[in-house]
Amino acid sequence: MKKKRYADSSLPPLRLLPLLTFFRPWLMKIPYFSRAQQAVILLLGAALLFLWAWRANFFLPPAPPPARISNFVFVEVAGAAVYPGVYKFDHVPTLTEAWRRAGVAAPAPAGDIKLPSGTRVEIEGTGQYRLGRMAGETLMTLGLTLDLNEATAQDLEALPGIGPVLAKRIVDYRAAHGPFRKAEDLLDVSGIGPIKLEKIKPHLLINRYGAADLAPNNH
């Protein structure tokens, strides 16, 4: 009659005995931890894991794709035009193109004056015209930049973080010290620091136009 064999679950398999014998000196050095100590160790481990995930931006949503840069050119025609408004071109238009698009009754001006995006053409009934920039709010809506040396206080209020008081300080500083040569000159204006400058700098350009005097239409 065969004897029954009972497996002792507390004993390791025979094939692991040589391995355990080899590591026994190191295993004997492992300290014993109570349940409270084990709980503390687990909490510390979880905290370290969370800190690593946070530093790696694991919990943050993926960064949005970079803003698409529009290749369109926007020109505003105002004044003595049958169809005043903002016009979109797929190329840099000439003054004559904008003139005809807006249905201006006066003859188109001679020459091929190029109009960069954000240009505002104000036309008089006599055929004279004035070149300048669109209003600040319109420029910001279209994703275009403001000319720091042509913008009015109202235009500047369209910039992020610029209110009426600060906009007036910028205009007053420009009137007292002359045109801005670079955007960093705004740091001399009270109330504008490096952080605010970095926010508004992408929305600015310097001296695209000269004087905005009326130009005669020599036709």
pLDDT, mean of residues 86-90: 96
Nearest residue to 129 via CA among 144, 145, 111, 117: 111
CA atoms of 45 and 82, how far apart (whole Å): 73
Please give the share of the chain, as a percent, with pLDDT higher than 90: 53
Q: What is the pTM of this model?
A: 0.58
pLDDT of residue 48: 75
Q: What are phi and psi of 185, to 5 degrees?
A: -65, -20
CATH number of 73-205: 1.10.150.320
Query: What token pair was written down for 121?
Result: 């053409």
pLDDT of residue 214: 39
pLDDT computed for residue 215 by the predictor: 45
In this prediction, residues 37-63 reach a mean pLDDT of 64
Residue 140 CA to residue 202 CA, distance in Å, equals 11
Q: Read off φ and ψ for residue 65, nearest 5 degrees.
A: -65, 150
Q: Which helix (H) or strand (E) holds 25?
A: helix 17-29
- Average per-residue pLDDT for the chain: 79
Helix (H) or strand (E) holding 19: helix 17-29
Whether 22 has a pLDDT exceeding 70, the answer reads: no
Average pLDDT of 138-160?
Answer: 94
CB 112 within 8 A of CB 93: no
CB burial string 132-157: b at 16+ within 10 A, e below: bbbbbebbbebebbbbbbbbebebbb
pLDDT tens-place string over residues 4-15: 554 454 455 555
Does residue 212 carry a pLDDT above 80?
A: no
Which pLDDT value is given to residue 127?
86
Enumerate the domain spans of the chain.
14-55, 73-205
**pLDDT for position 17:** 59
Contact by Cβ (8 Å): 92, 82: no
Neighbour-count burial of 99, counting CB atoms closer than 10 A to its CB (0-12 exposed, 13-18 middle, 19+ buried): buried
Q: What pLDDT is recorded for position 192?
A: 95
Q: How far is CA 151 from the centre of its chain?
A: 21
pLDDT in tens, 156-210: 999 999 999 999 999 999 999 999 999 999 999 999 999 999 999 999 988 654 4
d(CA 20, CA 72): 74
Question: Please, are residues 125 and 110 in contact by the beta-carbon 8 Å criterion?
Answer: no
Q: What is the mean pLDDT of residues 61-80?
A: 71
- 90-130 per-position pLDDT tens digit: 999 999 999 999 999 888 888 889 999 999 999 998 889 99
Task: Please state, in angstroms and rounded to a whole number, the distance separating the CA atoms of residues 3 and 104.
Answer: 114
Cα radius of gyration rounded to whole Å, the chain: 36
